[in-house]
C-alpha cells in the first residue's frame, strides 16, 4: 500500500476555501467513495491547528495529523515536512504551490502560471511575494512531479519556470454542482452573477462599472426583454489593496437609483451558491490569467452562459459554450454582457447542451489521473 501525505491547511477556514481548498476537499471525497483506491493508498492528512467539521474528515480511513502551531511558516516549512518524513511516506502532495526545502521525499506540487505573475507583478504583501518566489521556484526544480490543471497552464508554467514538460501532468478540475438536486428558491428575479475573489486581474471593478454602463446605455434592450431592473449579484472577498469594492458598489447603486448591485463575502452553504447559479441570466468572470477558473464551469453545469476573457484558456475549456470579452476594459465587458443577455439563440443552445458538455470535467476523473501519477 502506498502511503500518501496531503497538506490540508488550506481546508481549515471554510470561509476562505476557494480554488486550492475546493480541489483538495473534492480529492478526499472521491477517495472516500472508492474502495479500490483505499486498498492501494493510505492517506495522511496534515493540518496546522484544527480538523474541519466536514463529514469526510470523520471517516476513519484517513490518518489525521494536527501539528498545533499557529505560525503558517513554521507549520509549512518545518513541522509538516519533518512529521511527514517521520511517517515514512512514499509520496507527499503540496496543493498550495510551494515545496518546503526540508521535505526530501517524492513529491507532487500543484503549480500555476498565475501564481508566478502574482509574486512577480501582483499586489500581494512583500512576505507573500517572497515566499512564492522562493518556494514555487524550489518546487519547479525539486518536486518529483508538477500538477497542472489545464493544457494552457501546463505550457505557460513550463515556460515561466523552465520545467521540462514531461515532468508536468494535467488533471482538469471537476464541477461540484448538482443541478438536479437544486430546488430553485430565490428572492431575486433577473440578475447576472459574479463569483470569485475580487482583485485586479479578475476585473471586479471593471465588471461593476460595465454593469452600470450596460444598464444605462442599453436600458431600451433590457426593457424590451422584461429586465429593466436587472441586478448584479457578486459573491467574493475584496482582495484589492486598498479595498475598493464596498464603496464602489454603494456609489454605483446611488447613481442607478436603487440597490441594483448586491454583494456577499461568502456563502456558507453550497446550496445557496447553486441556487444563485440556477436563476442567473449569465455569469461574468473576465480574468486576464487563470489556470482553470471553476465558476464559469459550475455555471455551465446549470446551463448558464458565462462572459469570460477571449484567451487561449477560455477557448480550450469552453469553445462555443461561452461569450467572450475582447479585454478586461469596461467597454468590452459591457459589450459582452449585452451579447450574453440579448443573444437568445446562443443562450438557448448553451442552456440545452451546456450541462452535458461540462460532464467531462468531473472530480472522479481528476482523482483517477492524480492517483495514476502517484503510482507511476
Write out pLDDT tens, residues 65-107: 999 988 999 999 999 999 999 999 999 999 999 999 999 999 9
Task: Sketch out the chain's domains with CATH numbers.
Answer: 2-174+362-375 (3.40.50.2000), 179-360 (3.40.50.2000)
Question: Residue 179: is its pLDDT beyond 80?
Answer: no
Residue appearing with cell numbers 511575494 = 129
Mean pLDDT of the chain: 93
pTM for the full predicted model? 0.85
pLDDT of 17: 66
Grid cell for residue 363:
472530480
Q: What is the pLDDT of residue 33?
A: 95
Give CA–CA dist 61/36, Å, rounded: 13
- At residue 184, the pLDDT reads 67
Decide if pLDDT at 115 tops 90. Answer: yes
Residue 16 banded pLDDT, cuts 50, 70, 90: low
Average pLDDT over residues 107-130: 91
pLDDT at 31 over 90: yes
Average pLDDT over residues 3-13: 94
pLDDT at 180: 65
Residues above pLDDT 90, as percent of the chain: 76
Task: State yes or no: pLDDT of 14 exceeds 80.
Answer: no
Instruction: Look at residue 155 and tell me whether its pLDDT is greater than 70.
Output: yes
Highest-confidence segment of 106-115, 218-227, 272-281, 353-362: 106-115
Check residue 250 and give its pLDDT: 97
| pLDDT tens, position by position, 258-280 | 999 999 998 878 888 988 999 99
Question: C-alpha cell of 28?
Answer: 478526499
Question: Can you give 21-37 as a three-state secondary structure string?
Answer: HHHHHHHHHHHHHCHHH
pLDDT for residue 15 = 64
The average pLDDT across 107-124 equals 91
Q: What is the pLDDT of residue 176?
A: 76
Q: Whole-angstrom distance between the N-terminal and C-terminal Cα of the chain?
A: 14
Per-residue 3-state assignment (H helix, E strand, C coil) for 238-302:
ECCCCCCHHHHHHHHHHHHCCCCEEEECCCCCHHHHHHHHHHCCCEEECCCCCCCCHHHHHHHHC
How does strand 2-7 pair with strand 91-94?
parallel
Buried b (16+ CB within 10 A) or exposed e, 70-103: eeeeebbbebbbebbeebebebbbbbbbbbbeeb
Task: Read off the C-alpha cell for 89.
Answer: 511516506
User: What is each CA distance from 319 to 40, 48, 112, 311, 354, in whole angstroms?
Assistant: 37, 41, 21, 11, 11
In percent, how much of the chain has pLDDT > 70? 96
pLDDT of residue 306: 96
Q: What is the DSSP letter of 79?
A: I
Is residue 204 pLDDT above 70, yes or no?
yes
Distance CA 201, CA 103 (A): 33
Average pLDDT over residues 331-357: 92
Mean pLDDT, rounded, for 16-23: 79
Residue 182: name the closest of 303, 299, 274 by CA.
274
Assess whether pLDDT exceeds 90 at residue 243: yes
**pLDDT exceeds 80 at position 181:** no
**Residue recorded with cell 476573457:** 309
Q: In what order do the strands lie in the sheet with 41-47?
A: 63-66, 41-47, 2-7, 91-94, 107-110, 145-148, 168-170
Write down the pLDDT at residue 170: 97
- 23-32, 176-185, 259-268: range with lowest mean pLDDT: 176-185
Residue 143 has pLDDT above 80, yes or no: yes
Amino acid at each position: 500500500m502506498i502511503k500518501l501525505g496531503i497538506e490540508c491547511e488550506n481546508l481549515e477556514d471554510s470561509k476562505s476555501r476557494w480554488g486550492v481548498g475546493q480541489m483538495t476537499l473534492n480529492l478526499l471525497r472521491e477517495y472516500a467513495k472508492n474502495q479500490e483506491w483505499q486498498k492501494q493508498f493510505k492517506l495522511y492528512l496534515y493540518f496546522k491547528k484544527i480538523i474541519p467539521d466536514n463529514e469526510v474528515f470523520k471517516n476513519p480511513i484517513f490518518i489525521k495529523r494536527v501539528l498545533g502551531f499557529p505560525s503558517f511558516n513554521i507549520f509549512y516549512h518545518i513541522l509538516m515536512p519533518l512529521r511527514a518524513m517521520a511517517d515514512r511516506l512514499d509520496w507527499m502532495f503540496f496543493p498550495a504551490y510551494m515545496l518546503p526545502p526540508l521535505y526530501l521525499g517524492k513529491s507532487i506540487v500543484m503549480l500555476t502560471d498565475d501564481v508566478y505573475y502574482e509574486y512577480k507583478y501582483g499586489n500581494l504583501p512583500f512576505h507573500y511575494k517572497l515566499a512564492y518566489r522562493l518556494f514555487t521556484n524550489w518546487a519547479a526544480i525539486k518536486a518529483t512531479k508538477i500538477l497542472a490543471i489545464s493544457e494552457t497552464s501546463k505550457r505557460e508554467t513550463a515556460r515561466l519556470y523552465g520545467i521540462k514538460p514531461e515532468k508536468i501532468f494535467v488533471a482538469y478540475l471537476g464541477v461540484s454542482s448538482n443541478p438536479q438536486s437544486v430546488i430553485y428558491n430565490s428572492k431575486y428575479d433577473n440578475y447576472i452573477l459574479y463569483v470569485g475573489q475580487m482583485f485586479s486581474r479578475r476585473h471586479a471593478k471593471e465588471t461593476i462599472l460595465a454593469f452600470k454602463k450596460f444598464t444605462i446605455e442599453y436600458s431600451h434592450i433590457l426593457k424590451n426583454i422584461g429586465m429593466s431592473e436587472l441586478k448584479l449579484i457578486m459573491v467574493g472577498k475584496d482582495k484589492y489593496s486598498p479595498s475598493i469594492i464596498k464603496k464602489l458598489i454603494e456609489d454605483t447603486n446611488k447613481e442607478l437609483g436603487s440597490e441594483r448591485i448586491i454583494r456577499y463575502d461568502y456563502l456558507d452553504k453550497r446550496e445557496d451558491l447553486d441556487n444563485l447559479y440556477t436563476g442567473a441570466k449569465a455569469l461574468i468572470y473576465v480574468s486576464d490569467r487563470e489556470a482553470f477558473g471553476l465558476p464559469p464551469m459550475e455555471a455551465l453545469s446549470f446551463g448558464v452562459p458565462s462572459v469570460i476573457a477571449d484567451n487561449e484558456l477560455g477557448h480550450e475549456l469552453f469553445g462555443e459554450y461561452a461569450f467572450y470579452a475582447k479585454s478586461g476594459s469596461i467597454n468590452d465587458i459591457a459589450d459582452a454582457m449585452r451579447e450574453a443577455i440579448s443573444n437568445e439563440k446562443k443562450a438557448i443552445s448553451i442552456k440545452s447542451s451546456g450541462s452535458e458538455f461540462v460532464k467531462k470535467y468531473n472530480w472522479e476523473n481528476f482523482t483517477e489521473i492524480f492517483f495514476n501519477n502517484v503510482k507511476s
